A and B are shown apart, each in its own frame.
Chain A
Amino acid sequence: MATIQNIETRQGTYSGTKVQNHFFSDISVMLGRSMRHIFRSVDTIFTVTITPIAMMLLFVYVFGGAIQTGTGNYVDYLLPGILLIAIASAVAYTAYRLFNDVQKGIIERFRSMPIASSTLLWGHVLTSLVSNAISLAVIILVALIMGFRSSAGILPWLAVVGILTLFTLALTWVAVIAGLAAKTMEGATAFSYPLIFLPFISSAFVPTKSMPFIVRVFAENQPVTAIVNSIRALLAGQPVSNDIWVALAWCVGILVVAYIFAMRAYQKRM
């Protein structure tokens, strides 16, 4: 038994430090865990990066010739919508990972440990931000190879990053609700299908002018159009219209409402 005693002493005991002191280091442990999940799942990498890139290739080199956008380069026109589709498909995996944690009982292990109870949630949210940043960077890189050019300076680019971050955060908190509330795996991820479809009925692929009246009214008043138009204008170095305020209002609005419901679902789940 001597060896066991040695091990016990080496492991040490708790220092009794406050839970809050470790909040950020705990979240980074959670981030490391989820990032491993992502890089070990071929399926995730495929869906969140390869599929949007394939769609971009398809639209630019197959359909693009027939689409009249009134601007020079179709890849410039298309890129913002592709980025939003990538984010919408990626958040489904946030819901999936959270659902798994709840179902497999690992959430109970974390919750019975001396760490803040929201650590796991924030870990998933941070993972969503980091993994989306990586996949969007890869997609933009491919777009550059395909001829995407932007005349935007540092500030407009920062504004684009800001809008994309807000959009990701908003959808991630929606995903948290789905992951916590779902009874089945399909239920956890189904919420993302309409989100992935939304860009198709917007100005992401074609100008809304070409659409029939009713479709056009919907397209012009749903969040994706305002967000896409703002990003497109920023990247083209053009002045942004009111669209940017509409876009921000949508993102912040969805974010706040989703956050409140997600936290409520989290308390209830516990």
Chain B
Amino acid sequence: MPNIAIQVKDIQKSYKKLDVLKGVNFSVEQGSIFALLGSNGAGKTTLVKILTTLLKQDKGQAFVNGFDVASQPDLVRQSISLTGQFAAVDELLTGRENLIMIAQLRHLKQPHQVADDLLIRFGLTDAAKRKASTYSGGMRRRLDIAMSLVGAPPIIFLDEPTTGLDPEARIEVWKVVKELADGGVTILLTTQYLDEAEQLADRIAILHEGKIIASGTLAELKKLFPPAKVEYVEKQLTLEEIFLAIIGKKEVA
């Protein structure tokens, strides 16, 4: 049986009279990418905040890396990192300084070395000495994710990692996420884009009005619906494919 990195049992949360989460259950296998799919206001961010110890649930239990988020928050925080909805980089510091700062707060032995390694890995070496405020949206997101990798936490939470990014930057982020999972990191990401979940996730859970209404692999989810009818239609390019073809980028496979 594979190891479970995240386990969520009947998590409930309400703000005043508004029930945001009404008993959420799922588990995430170690080393897999799990996508929490839902529209705005479905409760995705609330759930991520509970799992990353920023918020306490009203009912239910959640375990991250085997630790209870409510009673062992320090141990949970040592096992995770969070990349929030808005790139949480320090704009007045350079990319390198941002990484060094996090490495120092993680009490790593060689913060400068760690920073330089991550700058290479995320293709930010040339921009290392520039203030993060001068970065493009995609670069900022890459720096943001690089900051989450400082100290190599085994579990990473990405809350809407591509919201607000242009298609190119979006593909850059997808590439990074895939590489991370290949390296054995467990990833829980939230998204409101169907194609993002389809591209990245090993398992997908659909969160709707505070409940998981469907979950499984993409193939399993497809089985829930009647088999596709075979029809012959002319292949139409999507606008995204046209856009990327024009600007000369290859889509990631």
Interface residues of A (CB under 8 A from B): 1, 3-5, 7-8, 10-17, 19, 22, 25-26, 29, 32-33, 36-37, 40-41, 104-106, 108-115, 270
Which bracket fits the contact residues of B?
A: 35 or more
With A1-B182, A112-B54, A270-B54 as given contacts, are A26 and B88 in contact (CB-CB < 8 Å)? no
Q: Is B74 engaged at the interface, CB distance under 8 Å to the other chain?
A: yes
The answer for the CA separation of A7 and B77 in the assembled complex, in Å, is 21
CA of A16 to CA of B106, assembled, Å: 11
User: A-contacting residues of B (Cβ < 8 Å)?
Assistant: 52-54, 74, 77-78, 80-82, 84-93, 97, 101-102, 104-110, 113-114, 117-118, 121, 131, 147, 149-152, 179, 182-183
Contact of A36 with B92 in the complex, beta carbons under 8 Å: yes
Residues of chain B within 8 A (CB-CB) of A115 are 105
Q: Answer whether A36 and B93 are a contact pair too, CB < 8 Å, given A10-B114, A12-B151.
A: yes
Instruction: From known contacts A4-B121, A17-B107, infer whether A108 and B152 are also in contact, taking CB-CB under 8 Å.
Output: no
The residue in chain B whose Cβ has the minimal distance to the Cβ of A13 is B152
Among A1, A8, A17, A29, point to the contact of B152 (Cβ < 8 A).
Answer: A8
15 residue pairs of the A-B complex, CB under 8 angstroms, read A11-B114, A11-B149, A13-B151, A13-B152, A17-B107, A105-B86, A106-B89, A108-B84, A109-B82, A109-B84, A112-B54, A113-B77, A113-B105, A113-B106, A114-B74
Distance between B162 CB and nearest chain A CB, rounded to angstroms: 16
In the assembly, what is the distance between CA of A11 and CA of B97, in Å?
17
**Which of B86, B93, B97, B182 interacts with A104 by CB under 8 Å?**
B86
User: Given that A10-B110, A11-B151, A36-B92 are contacting pairs, would A110 and B183 also be in contact in the complex, using a CB cutoff of 8 Å?
Assistant: no
Per the bound structure, the CA–CA distance linking A8 and B179 in Å amounts to 13
Question: Given the complex, which residues of B lie within 8 Å of A112, measured CB to CB?
Answer: 52-54, 77, 80-82
Contact A29 B88 (CB under 8 A): no
For residue B145, give the distance in angstroms from its CB to the closest CB of chain A: 12
CB-CB under 8 A for A111 and B150, given A14-B106, A104-B88: no
Q: Which residue of A lies closest to B89 (CB)?
A: A106
CB-defined contacts of B152 to chain A, threshold 8 Å: 8, 11-13
Assess whether A11 is in contact with B121, with CB atoms less than 8 Å apart.
Answer: no
Chain A contacts for B101, CB-based, 8 A: 29, 32-33
Nearest first, the 10 closest Cβ-Cβ pairs linking A and B are A112-B82, A109-B88, A114-B77, A105-B88, A106-B88, A114-B78, A112-B52, A11-B152, A105-B86, A7-B117
Q: Select which of A1, A41, A104 is within 8 A of B183 by beta carbon.
A: A1
Q: Which residue of B lies closest to A111 (CB)?
A: B54
Are B81 and A113 in contact, CB atoms less than 8 angstroms apart?
Answer: yes
* Cα(A79)–Cα(B104), bound, Å: 40
Q: Which residue of B lies closest to A32 (CB)?
A: B101
Residues of B within 8 A of A108 (CB): 54, 82, 84, 88
Residues in A with CB closer than 8 Å to B114 are 10-11
Contact indicator B80/A10 (Cβ below 8 Å): no
Q: Closest residue of chain B to A17, judged by CB?
A: B107
B contact residues around A32 at 8 Å (CB): 101
Contacts beyond the supplied A8-B152, A113-B77: 8 A-B pairs with Cβ under 8 Å: A1-B182, A29-B101, A29-B104, A33-B101, A37-B92, A41-B92, A104-B86, A106-B90
Q: Please measure, in the bound complex, the distance between the C-alpha atom of A108 and the C-alpha atom of B148, giving whole angstroms.
A: 12
What separation, in Å, do the CA atoms of A106 and B118 have in the docked complex? 19
In the complex the two chains form, is A12's CB within 8 Å of B93's CB? no
Bound CA–CA A106/B152 (angstroms): 19
| A8 partner, pick from B81, B87, B106, B183, beta carbons under 8 A | B183
- Rounded to whole angstroms, the CA-CA distance of A108 and B87 in the bound complex is 11
Provide the bound-state CA to CA distance between A65 and B86, in Å.
56
The residue on A at minimum CB distance from B147 is A109
